[in-house]
Structure 1
């Protein structure tokens, strides 16, 4: 079977295990069905997710010009405390920013390689946790806009990490933690204006990934350096494909790359 299309992050469905899909313009692939099969990936060209042109991808699927113009990749996306839509102040596109920022957001704890704090729109739970490769997560606060979520995350960074060690996550060198107890300890560090949004109840969400074999030594596949690769797919975790030879491929980091896939 042969497929060709521009890569975007894999779509997921919550299940036991998580179900993964690659979506192309005219086709889709249920990636779980490719486990234990030989998969060949070939880089064809670039296709910016905004302008659609064959221009070198700069970051997050966008060419250089669009990365600094498109509202989808404004600084507030990575740093939610910079959100200003609640003040009626525009960054790049106020209508878009109001749509995305002025909706319920969750500040959460997730355990991928260690316990980390993060922010996501409520509509993206549990998708955000899955994309990060978290095997357990819990909601901390639910706030009405992105700004309040952002200042909460900043306030908690001195108490808990805000980054995931992707190597540890992919090797599955993880320890189960009592997130309920950890959440209770963090309550006092939440900003005063957010205290009323603390979620007193709630339990951990456990996430199981379709992995038959975890890598022991990681080799990251970069399609610019290695435009043709072939290997036996052994697992999917976060937004990574894991192969039998310890090669791992970050699909999300390769958004905007047009690829040709051959399944044997």
Structure 2
């Protein structure tokens, strides 16, 4: 079986374990079905997710020009506290920014390698946690716009990290913590304008990933440096494919790459 298409982040289905899908223009791959099978990945060319041209990908699946002009790559994406749509102030495209920023957002605590705080649109729960490789997560506050979520995250980052150690996550070196205890302790650091949105209720969400064998060391696959790769697929976690030779492939970091994927055995 051979598939060809432009990579975008794997779609997920919240089941036990998580189900993963690679969607192409005319086909899709149910990635879980490739576990314990040898596959090849071959880099063919680029295809910017915005303009569709064969231009070198800069970041987030976009070429250099589109990364610095398209609203989906504005600074407020990575730094929600910079959101201004609630003030009717445009960054790059006010209509787009209102659509994304002026909807319910969740600030959460997640445990992937260590406990961290993060922000996502409510519509992206639990997808965001799955994409980060978190094995457990809990909602902290639910606010009506991205700006309030951003200032909450900034306040909490003074007391807890906001980064995932992707190496520990992929090797399953995880801390045993009680998210409810952290949530209760961090409540005191919420900004005044967010206190009313604190989620007193809420249970931890546990996530089980389809991993047959965790690697003991890691080699990261870069398709620009290694345009053809073959390996036995041993797991899927976050947005990574894990192979038997300890190679890991970050699908999301390779968005905008046109590839051929072939099932060899």
Interval of TM-score (by shorter of Structure 1 and Structure 2): over 0.9
**1:120 corresponding residue in structure 2:** 120
**2:90 corresponding residue in structure 1:** 90
Q: CA deviation at 1:100?
A: 0.2
SS of alignment partner, residue 168 of structure 1: helix
Question: For 1:67-86, what aligned pairs fall within 5 Å after superposition?
Answer: 67-86=67-86
Runs ≥4 residues deviating over 3 A? none
- State the alpha-carbon separation in 2 of the partners of residues 47 and 244 from structure 1: 29
- State the alpha-carbon separation in 1 of the partners of residues 187 and 52 from structure 2: 45
SS of alignment partner, residue 209 of structure 1: coil
1:22 aligns with 2:34: no
**2:252 corresponding residue in structure 1:** 252
Offset from partner CA, 1:10-69 (integer Å, 9 cap, x none): 000000000000000000000000000001000000000000000000001000000001
Q: CA deviation at 1:150?
A: 0.1
**1:110 corresponding residue in structure 2:** 110
SS of alignment partner, residue 176 of structure 1: coil
TM-score normalised by structure 1 residue count: 1.00
- State the alpha-carbon separation in 2 of the partners of residues 220 and 39 from structure 1: 16
1:6 aligns with 2:38: no
Runs of 5+ consecutive residues of structure 1 not aligned to the other structure: none
**2:46 corresponding residue in structure 1:** 46
RMSD after superposition: 0.4
- State the alpha-carbon separation in 1 of the partners of residues 103 and 245 from structure 2: 43
Question: For 1:166-185, what aligned pairs fall within 5 Å after superposition?
Answer: 166-185=166-185
- State the alpha-carbon separation in 1 of the partners of residues 225 and 241 from structure 2: 17
TM-score normalised by structure 2 residue count: 0.99
SS of alignment partner, residue 164 of structure 1: coil
**1:56 corresponding residue in structure 2:** 56
Q: CA deviation at 1:158?
A: 1.1
**2:151 corresponding residue in structure 1:** 151
SS of alignment partner, residue 201 of structure 1: coil
Q: CA deviation at 1:176?
A: 2.5
1:65 aligns with 2:39: no
Offset from partner CA, 1:87-117 (integer Å, 9 cap, x none): 0000000000000000000000000010000
